[in-house]
Amino acid sequence: MKITVVGFWGAYPEKEEATSCYLVEHNGMKVVIDCGSGAVSQLQRYTELKDVDAVVFSHYHADHIADLGVIQYARIVDKALERTSDSLLMYGHQEDKAAFQSLTKEPAVEGLPYSEGESLQFGEMTFTFCRTDHPVPCFAIRVEAAGRSAVYTADTTYLDELVQFSKGADLLIAETSFYADQDSKPFGHMNSVEAGRMARKAGVGHLVLTHLPHFGNYEDLVKEARGEFGGEVELAAGGKVFKL
């Protein structure tokens, strides 16, 4: 399984970058997790848009879904030009009915539901979901294939349920929106210490800090997370690839 960081900023993208977006590939199957602002432009560095099989959204905040319409239009164009005959599948939760309905753009894009406790299958990849603590309904995503696993926390405060959901994962991509001395809970996010604690308690192999803030010294985030977690810790960056 190969995971490429396409976008990693929280709230808005820095210049020439993108907010949350990750490309997951295994045995020819390509699935995008979240598609935030600037994501479609950056995604084309790593794949042709016509080759994307599905997009899975953790939730409907703009920094995770802003390029929804853009990637829909890309598939409309690709089908019209006969670059592909496949419709793009888009998966989201149904707790915001209007947002869920916006995933469908006939005849090129089909919106489909997921729910906690159920799994989605993309080739040999299995996706499962865990509700997070955020101001709107949001779900963390676990991806498993060939005995390897990765967890993306999406947006959340620290939760024991997410520790259990992340148990034994080879890779934990954890949102880290604040520094150690800042209380992230009122905003529905985690700080660096909480991300490190989650990684340690879950016994993961590798921690990647993502959904980064637009202030401060980012190496401090790494140092603070390492105070809790003794495994490998690094910052997400556009184009960074993890092979599991």
The SS3 call for residue 35 is: strand
Q: By three-state DSSP, how is residue 45 classified?
A: coil
pLDDT, tens digit, for every residue of 119-130? Answer: 999 999 999 999
Q: Please report the pLDDT score of residue 116 as a whole number.
A: 97
Give mean pLDDT, residues 100-118: 97
Angle, helices 192-202 vs 218-226, to 10°: value is 40
Query: If pLDDT is split at 50, 70 and 90, which confidence band does 193 have?
Result: very high
pLDDT of the residue at 131: 98
The confidence score (pLDDT) of residue 214 equals 98
In angstroms, the CA 221 to CA 229 distance is: 12
pLDDT score, position 225: 98
213 pLDDT band (50/70/90 cuts)? very high
In one letter, which amino acid is 84?
Answer: T
pLDDT tens by residue, 143-176: 999 999 999 999 999 999 999 999 999 999 999 9
Count of beta carbons in the 10 Å neighbourhood of residue 62: 13
Q: List residues bridging with 30 in a β-sheet.
A: 25
CA pseudo-torsion sign 11, 132, 59, 219: positive
In the DSSP assignment, the letter for residue 230 is -
The answer to whether 100 and 111 are in contact (CB under 8 A) is yes
The pTM for the full model equals 0.98
pLDDT of 218 reads 98
